[in-house]
Amino acid sequence: MKFIDPHIHMTSRTTNDYESMSKAGIVAIIEPAFWLGQPRTEVGSFKDYFSSIVGWEAFRASQFGIKHYCTIGLNSKEANNESLAEEVMELLPLFALKNNVVAIGEIGYDDQTAAEDKYFRAQIELAKELDLPILVHTPHRDKKRGTLRSMDVLEEHDIDPSTVIIDHNNEETVESVLERGYWTAFTIYPNTKMGSERMVAVVKKYGSNKIFINSSADWGVSDPLSVPKTAHLMLDKGISNEIVQIVCYQNALEAYAQSGNMKESDWSDGVHFDQSILYGGNSVLRGQPPKKSDDSKIIEN
Amino acid sequence: MFKNKFVSLSELIKEYCLNEIQNKNTKRWLDQKLRSIKSAQDFFISFALINKKIPRDHLQLSLAQIKTVHLTHAEFNIENWTLDQLCRLSLLMYYPLLTVQNITKLISVADNLEQITIFKSIPYLKNADQYAHIVVNGLRTNIVDVFDAIALKNSYPAKHFSQDQWNQMVLKAIFMERPIYQIKDIDERKNEKLAHILFNYALERWAASRRVTPELWRMIRGYLTEAQFFEMKKQMVEPIKSHQKAMLKLIQESNLNVAQQWLNMQSIQLENISWDQIGSDFLNKNQVLKNLSKT
C-alpha cells in the first residue's frame, strides 16, 4: 500500500527516518513551514529555512525515493513578533510560487492574539491572490473556539472551504469542520493530539469523506511512521482497503493537487532527483550503497 | 523568419518563446514583462511566476529552426532548453537592472529548477564576466542537478574560472562521479597541478579499496611521472578489466620509457577508444546500475 504523509517536518528528521518511511510505503510528503521549536530573531533565518524546504530537503527526500513538497507561511507563534513578521510577509510571495509549494501554511491561531489575527488574514489574502490552497493550524489550547474562529475568518474572506485543510482536529472539532465543507486532517501523535486507536474510531464513525491523517513529526517526540502504522491498525480493525487508501493517500493528494504543483506522476515513475543515488561521495548517502526497498511489513504498532 | 539580417540572441530567444506559448493571456503577460519590469520585486515575482504560467516542455522545433540558431549563435544549443527555462533566460536578458546583487538575491530565494536555469543562463547575460564568484559559490551545492547545470555543457567555467577554481570544479565532479567528458574545454584547461591533485585522490581511494572513475586518467595525460606509473602498475592485475582500459590508455599515451617497455612486455590487446567514449560508457553503466537498484 502507498501512503502520503501530508504534514511532516523533515528538516528535523534523520536519514534513518527517510529510510524507514520509504520502506513503509510513503511515496510523497508535505513539509509545512513552521517554527523551529524556538523563535527566530532575524528575517534571514526565515529566508534560509524557506530556501531549504523548497530546495535542499526536496533533494534529500528524493535520494530515498520520496517526493517532497512544502507549504510556505508565517506560523502563528512567530506572527506575534510584529516587526519581524512584516519582513517575513515580504518574503512570502517569493517562496510561495516555487514548484514544490502546495499551499500557504501552516497559518492560523496559537494564543489567538490580535497580531496572529492580522497575519492570518493577510496570508489568507495572499493565498487568494496566488490561487493556492490554505493549511490551517488549529491551536493546542482553546482548540474548539480557535477552530471555529479560523473557519469564520476564512469565510469572511470568501474562501471556498474545499480549498482549505483544517489540521490537528480531534473528536471535539471534527463534526463542525466536516459540516462546513473543509478538508479535515488529523495528526497522529504518540502523546498529545490523536492516538491511532482514536483515529480508527473517528473513521468508523465519520467515514472517509474529506478526512485524512498525518504524523506532524518534528523535533519533538513524534513518529514519522504514524500514517502507515495507523493505516495497518485500521485494516486490522476491519476498515476496508479502499477507505484506508482514501484516508492515507487519496484525500491528501486531492486537497493539495488543487495547487497545480502536486500530481501522482511526480512519483509513480520514480522521483526525479534520484539520479544522484549512485554518486555517493557528496550526497546524503556518503558512499553507502542505495538500499533496495522490499515489501516486508513495517514495524508493528 | 530572420532572413538576411542579424538577430541578437536575446531577440531570437524572445521570438521563440512568444511563438511557443499557446495561451494568449500568458503570451501577452510575458511580452509585457520583457518590455517593462517595474522593480526588483516585480522581477523576482515574474521570474517565480514562470513556474505557474509556462509548461516545462521541450520546444517544438524543426531541424531547420535549430540550424538557424546554430548558424547565427553557434554557442547556444537551443535544443537543450525547455520552454520555462528559455522564458526565464529571456527575463534575465531583458531585465534592465540586472546586477551582481540582484542575481545573488535571486539565487538565494530560488528553488532547484530556478537555480538550474539561472546557472545555465549566466554565460549568455550581459557582463557575464562579473558573475564568476556567484558561479563558483553555486558549485558548493550538494544538489547534483544544480552542480551539473554549472559544470556540464556550460561554457562559463572554461571562460571565466581561474586555474584554482577550475581545478576545484573538476576535482569535485570526479569525486561526485559526474561525467567530466561533458565539461566544456575539459582537455584545453588540463594542468599539472590538477593532475597531481587527482593522482593523489586516486591513491587515497585505492588505499581505502575504492574505485575511481575511469575519466580521472584523462586529466593526467601529459603529466604522468615515473613514480606515478609504478603506482598504477601495482593496480594492473591481469586479466585487464574494463575499468582499467582508461589506465592503459593513459600509460600507452605517455612518453615514459619505462611505461612503453612495460607495455611491450604485456600480452594486452590495446583498444583504440576515445576518452569521450570511456566517459559515456561509464555513465551508461552507472545508469543501468541505477535502474537495477530501483526494481
Interface residue ranges in chain A relative to chain B, Cβ cutoff 8 Å: 47, 50-51, 54-56, 58-59, 65, 91, 93-95, 97-100, 260-261, 270, 273-279, 281-284, 287, 290, 292
User: pLDDT for B194-210, tens place per residue?
Assistant: 999 999 999 999 999 88
**A214 occurs within a structural domain:** yes
| CB-facing half-sphere around the CA of A68: CA atoms within 13 A | 28
**B82 occurs within a structural domain:** yes
Q: What is the pLDDT of residue A274?
A: 38
Q: Which helix (H) or strand (E) holds A140?
A: none
Lookup result for grid cell 474529506: A210
- Sign of the Cα pseudo-torsion (B175, B180, B184, B190, in order): positive
Q: What is the pLDDT of residue A196?
A: 87
- One-letter amino acid of B165: Q
Does the beta-carbon distance from B145 to A275 stay under 8 Å?
yes
**A204 occurs within a structural domain:** yes
Q: Which helix (H) or strand (E) holds A45?
A: helix A43-54
Q: What is the pLDDT of residue A266?
A: 92
User: pLDDT for B122-134, tens place per residue?
Assistant: 999 999 999 999 9
State how many domains chain A has: 1
Does the beta-carbon distance from B175 to A282 stay under 8 Å?
yes
Cα–Cα distance measured from residue A96 to residue A106, given in angstroms and rounded to the nearest whole number: 12
Closest-CA residue to A107 (of A82, A133, A63, A138): A138
State how many domains chain B has: 2
Q: Which residues of A touch B112 (CB under 8 A)?
A: 54-55, 58-59, 99, 273
Does the beta-carbon distance from A275 to B144 stay under 8 Å?
yes
Query: What DSSP letter does each residue of chain B carry, written as one string?
Result: --TTS---HHHHHHHHHHHH---HHHHHHHHHHHH---SHHHHHHHHHHHHHHS--PBP---HHHHHHHHHH-TT--GGG-BHHHHHHHHHHHH-TT--HHHHHHHHHT--HHHHHHHHHHGGGSTTGGGGHHHHHHHTT---HHHHHHHHSS-SHHHHH--HHHHHHHHHHHHHTT--GGGSTTTTTT--HHHHHHHHHHHHHHHHTT----GGGGGGGTTT--HHHHHHHHHH--SSPPGGGHHHHHHHHHS--HHHHHHHHHS--------HHHHHHHHHHHHHHHHHHHH-
**A25 occurs within a structural domain:** yes
Q: What is the pLDDT of residue A191?
A: 67
Calculate mean pLDDT across residues B18-45: 93
Q: What is the pLDDT of residue B5?
A: 61
Cα–Cα distance measured from residue B292 to residue B295, given in angstroms and rounded to the nearest whole number: 6
Q: Which helix (H) or strand (E) holds A234?
A: helix A226-236
Question: CA Rg, chain B, in Å?
Answer: 23
**A172 occurs within a structural domain:** yes
A-contacting residues in B 80-99 (Cβ below 8 Å): none
Closest-CA residue to A259 (of A70, A33, A56): A70
**B102 occurs within a structural domain:** no
Query: What DSSP letter does each residue of A54-96 carry, written as one string?
Result: HTHHHHHHHTTT-EEEEEE---TTGGGSHHHHHHHHHHHHHHH
**A76 occurs within a structural domain:** yes
Omega before B239 within 30 of 0, i.e. cis: yes
Cα–Cα distance measured from residue A134 to residue A76, given in angstroms and rounded to the nearest whole number: 14
pLDDT top residue among A213 and B265 = A213
Q: Which residues of B touch A54 (CB under 8 A)?
A: 111-112
Domain end marker among B49, B71, B97: B97
Does the beta-carbon distance from A283 to B144 stay under 8 Å?
yes
| Exposure b/e, A11-26, CB count within 10 A at least 16 = b | bbbeeebbebbbbbbb
Q: What is the CATH number of the domain that holds A229?
A: 3.20.20.140
ipTM, 2 dp:
0.85
> Searching chain A, which residue's CA lies closest to the CA of residue B41?
A94
Calculate mean pLDDT across residues B4-23: 87
Mutate to test the interface with B, among A50, A66, A71, A282 (most CBs of B within 10 A): A282
| pTM assigned to the model | 0.89
**B238 occurs within a structural domain:** yes
What is the DSSP code (8-state) at residue A38? S
* Residues 6 or more apart whose Cβ sits within 8 Å of residue A229: A24, A188, A196, A223, A298, A299, A301
pLDDT top residue among B63 and A163 = A163
**Which domain, by its residues, includes A251?**
3-282
Count other C-beta atoms under 10 Å from residue B151's C-beta. Answer: 26
**B130 occurs within a structural domain:** no
**B182 occurs within a structural domain:** no
Does the beta-carbon distance from B48 to A94 stay under 8 Å?
yes
Cα–Cα distance measured from residue B89 to residue B110, given in angstroms and rounded to the nearest whole number: 14
**Which domain, by its residues, includes B225?**
221-294
Sequential pLDDT tens for chain A (301 residues):
999 999 999 999 999 999 999 999 999 999 999 999 999 999 999 999 999 999 999 999 999 999 999 999 999 999 999 999 999 999 999 999 999 999 999 999 999 999 999 999 999 999 999 999 999 999 999 999 999 999 999 999 999 999 999 999 999 999 999 999 999 999 998 766 678 899 999 999 999 999 999 999 999 999 999 999 999 999 999 999 999 999 999 999 999 999 999 999 999 887 755 333 333 333 455 555 444 333 333 333 3
Does the beta-carbon distance from B112 to A59 stay under 8 Å?
yes
Does the beta-carbon distance from B286 to A50 stay under 8 Å?
no
CA distance B178 to chain A (A): 8
**B274 occurs within a structural domain:** yes
| pLDDT value at B289 more than 80 | no
Lookup result for grid cell 511580452: B31
Q: What is the pLDDT of residue B288?
A: 76
Establish if B55 touches chain A: CB-CB under 8 angstroms: no
**A294 occurs within a structural domain:** no
**B119 occurs within a structural domain:** no
Q: What is the pLDDT of residue B272?
A: 85
- One-letter amino acid of A160: D
Closest-CA residue to A165 (of A4, A53, A50, A3): A4
Confidence of residue B117 (pLDDT cuts 50, 70, 90): very high
**B171 occurs within a structural domain:** no
Domain end marker among B71, B97, B123: B97
Count other C-beta atoms under 10 Å from residue B133's C-beta. Answer: 12
**A165 occurs within a structural domain:** yes
Q: Which residues of B touch A281 (CB under 8 A)?
A: 175-177
Domain end marker among B40, B67, B97: B97
**A19 occurs within a structural domain:** yes
* Residues above pLDDT 70, as percent of chain B: 95
* Residues 6 or more apart whose Cβ sits within 8 Å of residue B188: B158
Q: What is the pLDDT of residue A276?
A: 35
